[in-house]
Amino acid sequence: MSVFGLAGKRALVTGANTGIGQAIAVGLAEAGAHVVCAGRRSCGETVGLIEAAGGTGEELVMDLGDLRAAVSALPSGLDILVNNAGIIRREDSVDFAEADWDEVMDVNLKAVFQLCQRFARDVFASKAEGRIVNIASLLSFQGGIRVPSYTASKHGVAGLTKILANEWATRGINVNAVAPGYIATNNTEALRADTARNQAILERIPAGRWGDPADIAGAVTFLCTPAANYVTGAVLNVDGGWLAR
């Protein structure tokens, strides 16, 4: 098997119904993995894209807002876990509501930890090996504006990735994160439609363009392959050079 292949591997991607999560699911399938596409809404479209590309996949309804049920729904026998699902709430920090803080932290950080924990217990019990990739953010490094809970949660994802890598490296699980930059998805449509804001963003990105979800999928897929056997505890920026500016 190629060091860049995933034949025979079984992966689960959260938030796989659209955008970056959908691209990651398709990318893993194209590398040979069977992909469980998890989302709070149907991932049928993603499964269709996987099958059209010659891969195999299935969908799983998983609402991280009901964390106990989501953790219980995580299938056994997985080799790869990609924690992509996340939410954001915007408001001035002085006015930010406690309910919005709790909801974002629960989905973006607490759920990531508990899914990692459940995945690791299964891997250790089967004496197998595994890969975890958490989706971080540029706001794992920067503060941002009007997104206090999102920024805190994504800083937390970076830290969680490192501690789990420290604890699990000798037990067969590599834990890494990918931090996307400005990616052209439905979530950023309003930014791209704002001529002035779009221009300001593009002027800051050395690559001179918005990222494509497939750019994130390639990085995630690499971290899941044998080519990344000695990579753990890393937070890989896929941002067109934004943080280097």
Contacts of residue 21, defined as CB under 8 A and 6 or more positions apart, other chains included, come to: 13, 14, 15, 39, 46, 82, 84, 85
User: Beta-carbon neighbour count of residue 77 at 10 Å?
Assistant: 9
Instruction: Report whether CATH 3.40.50.150 matches the domain 10-185+213-238.
Output: no
**80 touches 130 (CB < 8 A):** yes
Instruction: Please tell me the predicted confidence (pLDDT) of residue 2.
Output: 87
Instruction: Please tell me the predicted confidence (pLDDT) of residue 190.
Output: 86
- pLDDT per residue as tens, the chain (245 positions): 689 999 999 999 999 999 999 999 999 999 999 999 999 999 999 999 999 999 999 999 999 999 999 999 999 999 999 999 999 999 999 999 999 999 999 999 999 999 999 999 999 999 999 999 999 999 999 999 999 999 999 999 999 999 999 999 999 999 999 999 999 998 889 889 999 999 999 999 999 999 999 999 999 999 999 999 999 999 999 999 999 99
- State both tokens at 130: 């595994």
DSSP 142: S
User: Beta-carbon neighbour count of residue 82 at 10 Å?
Assistant: 31
CA distance 60 to 36: 7
pTM for the whole thing?
0.97
Is 150 an annotated catalytic residue? yes
The secondary structure element, H or E, covering residue 81 is strand 80-83
Q: Which of these is catalytic: 119, 150, 168, 222?
A: 150
**149 touches 100 (CB < 8 A):** yes
DSSP 208: -
